[in-house]
Homo-oligomer: A and B are copies of this chain.
């Protein structure tokens, strides 16, 4: 099972709405179960450099089925996965990427958000991931 475009677009919309509430400008990327880009939106005036980061966060979250910030705890100097960021063409391991689950708890894709503090990025990603509902 992989996320559908309709679900991915609802995740983007919910993330955009949350960003507006927080007063921040975000790049929002959703990838499918194969880590392929499925939906994307860059809000007007968002940092250019965050475009690439948002997509990498989404891919990273799906590559290892965990929040990017969790991977980042393991990739610190002295940690077990130090410099894992050099794999897969470049990972991003700070917060803002989250797996997207269906109602059975299976990973069907992931969302990556970049454009503000990592706390804001994470909050906006949560709003997006939480908006995905199963399609019946």
Residues of chain A touching chain B, judged by Cβ–Cβ distance below 8 Å, are 4-5, 8-9, 32-44, 47-53, 56, 60, 62-65, 72, 75-78, 80-95, 117-118
Contacts and interface: CB of A to CB of B under 8 A. Distances in A.
B93 A42 contact: no
A127 B109 CA distance: 29
Given A34-B48, A63-B47, A92 B87 contact: yes
A98 to B, nearest CB: 15
B37 A42 contact: yes
Give the number of times this chain occurs in the complex, counting copies. Answer: 4
A88 B38 contact: no
A82 to B, nearest CB: 6
A91 B86 contact: yes
Given A48-B34, A48-B35, A82-B76, A87 B90 contact: yes
Nearest to A9: B41
Contacts of A36: 34, 42, 48, 51
B80 A84 contact: no
